[in-house]
């Protein structure tokens, strides 16, 4: 295969906000995004880790389908903890995607990898300017 026909696949960590402010529709939208990331990155090679996080990291798991994601939590919210945990792993990700309603404290400075906030719900608060932001909305 010619090198120009191959694209490098990044290691990705997905931090899912499982705090009490995330409703069922928000969590469904988050799981749909996990499926989309897996489709883009590929399910082979253990390239995607999912972390369920409220004010603490509840579950960390490498997944090949959204059905393998374990969602636990329901307490307060602090996505900084999930981002830090994702970056502390042995297989450090090149991209951290945070699926949240945005009602969370964020790190004060950018880590050494790409961070994307995928915001669910209507009118979420904006994360810091160094975080790439995508608005997902809630499924109807």
Angstrom distance (rounded) from CA 52 to CA 118: 15
Per-residue pLDDT of the chain (140 residues; tens, 9 = 90+): 555 566 677 889 999 999 999 999 999 999 999 999 988 887 665 688 999 999 999 888 888 888 888 888 888 999 999 999 999 978 899 999 999 999 999 999 999 899 999 999 888 999 999 999 999 865 54
Yes or no: say if 96 and 86 are a contact pair by the CB < 8 Å rule: yes
pTM: 0.88
Angstrom distance (rounded) from CA 9 to CA 60: 21
Question: Would you state the pLDDT for residue 140?
Answer: 46
Domains belonging to the chain, first-starting first, are: 3-135 (3.40.50.410)
């Amino acid at each position: 295969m010619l090198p120009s026909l191959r694209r490098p696949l990044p290691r990705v960590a997905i931090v899912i906000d499982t705090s009490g402010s995330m409703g069922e529709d928000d969590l469904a939208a988050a799981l749909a995004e996990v499926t989309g990331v897996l489709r883009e990155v590929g399910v082979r090679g253990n390239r995607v880790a999912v972390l369920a996080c409220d004010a603490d990291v509840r579950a960390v798991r490498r997944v090949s389908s959204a059905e393998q994601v374990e969602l636990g939590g329901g307490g307060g919210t602090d996505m900084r903890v999930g981002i830090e945990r994702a970056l502390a792993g042995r297989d450090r990700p090149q991209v951290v995607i945070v699926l949240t309603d945005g009602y969370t404290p964020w790190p004060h400075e950018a880590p050494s990898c790409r961070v994307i906030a995928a915001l669910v719900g209507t009118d979420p608060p904006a994360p810091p300017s160094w975080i790439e932001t995508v608005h997902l909305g809630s499924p109807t």
